[in-house]
Structure 1
């Protein structure tokens, strides 16, 4: 049987204690580096943020608001009708607009009503603007052929409009948007904080 005199036990110094703080510091440094690299990858390849300039998407998105754009979604799927998208309009300018026409669609507006393939479509996202206009026409009449010379949206392209139809440069002026020019889909507005919302 083994006995121990507790009163005479001496404190033994842990030879690893000195090294522990260095290991802990290295562990935290590695963690921060990994988080930083992941953040760069997410920022560069999956999501990005934009500041919206101008009034072409009012009242959905206002001048000066900051938005998050999902860049990876359209790598694995196609845009859906009424998505809010960012695309390269010129070499140094990106636009945000709403997808109205998909490949193969015929588009026309008549009496402020959208017709896609001769079927009327509600644009509920325009209700607030219509109320503010007190019955004025928001979208002037046109057909796809009138403004583009095409009967249908070509393959590999989309037709886009700004929500502020009276003050927007969109497919009525610049024509169809090639799919490869799309940066991504706008997911949320995050600034100013009181205007935070998902799209």
Structure 2
């Protein structure tokens, strides 16, 4: 009788142990499934966040900045052919700033320096810029002008605004621009004024190549 009771107790203990072991395995599997589920959810949330941030950066970049490449040699030596520039699309246009604009007819984009502002008269005489009859120094061209003087020539040919554009003052909402490479640049002396609506932004700095 005692043997039967002891045997029954052993079987009961073994059964309980087996049940506990099975329950522990099930709990462990459940924890693993929960961890995997949480990990997948975390990955999805991080991917979505990364996508949203990327889209926002792209939108902000499109609205405020661009990184165009300079084509041509009209802005040498300030900017060389192939240089990559940082353009601020929300900056205000001021004299002597470099602007990035699009030609409304050819759709070509270029960089030139603003010389004349709306409602101004201007002329060049012996490498001196005059705005409304007041001499305005162009310090960014001092080296080139000095070299021209040693050769007994001028870096910027003499002209009056009316001679090259047909009007005595810069029209409203338009700008007179020149290339820094004055003897060879294609600029407002040839194609006229740049309209404000065609200006994409202000050139802030060279990005590439690093110098």
Q: Same fold (TM over 0.5)?
A: yes
- Identify unmatched segments of 5+ residues in structure 2: 1-23
Match of 1:31 in 2: 49
Match of 2:111 among 76, 81, 96: 96
Match of 2:135 in 1: 120
Q: How does 1:68-107 map to 2 (within 5 A)?
A: 68-73=86-91, 77=92, 79-89=93-103, 90-107=105-122
SS of aligned partner of 2:129: strand
**Deviations 1:134-155, CA, capped at 9 Å, x for gaps:** 6341101001111112111011
Question: How far does residue 130 in structure 1 lie from its aligned partner after superposition?
Answer: 3.3
SS of aligned partner of 2:176: strand
TM-score, normalised by the number of residues in structure 2: 0.78
Pairs aligned (count): 180
The reply to whether residue 17 of structure 1 matches residue 35 of structure 2 is yes
What's the RMSD between the two structures over aligned residues?
A: 1.9
Which structure shows the bigger proportion of residues in helix conformation? 2
Match of 2:75 in 1: 57
Question: How far does residue 156 in structure 1 lie from its aligned partner after superposition?
Answer: 1.2
SS of aligned partner of 2:155: coil
- Identify unmatched segments of 5+ residues in structure 1: 1-9
Aligned equivalents of 2:145, 2:42: Cα separation in 1: 60
SS of aligned partner of 1:165: coil
The reply to whether residue 183 of structure 1 matches residue 197 of structure 2 is no
Question: How far does residue 91 in structure 1 lie from its aligned partner after superposition?
Answer: 3.3
Query: Contact 1:80–1:99 at 8 Å: present in 2 too?
Result: yes
Query: Contact 1:107–1:143 at 8 Å: present in 2 too?
Result: yes
Query: Contact 1:59–1:129 at 8 Å: present in 2 too?
Result: no
Match of 2:182 in 1: 165
Match of 1:3 in 2: none
TM-score, normalised by the number of residues in structure 1: 0.83
SS of aligned partner of 1:54: coil
SS of aligned partner of 1:72: coil
Please tell me whether Structure 1 or Structure 2 has the larger radius of gyration of its CA atoms: 2
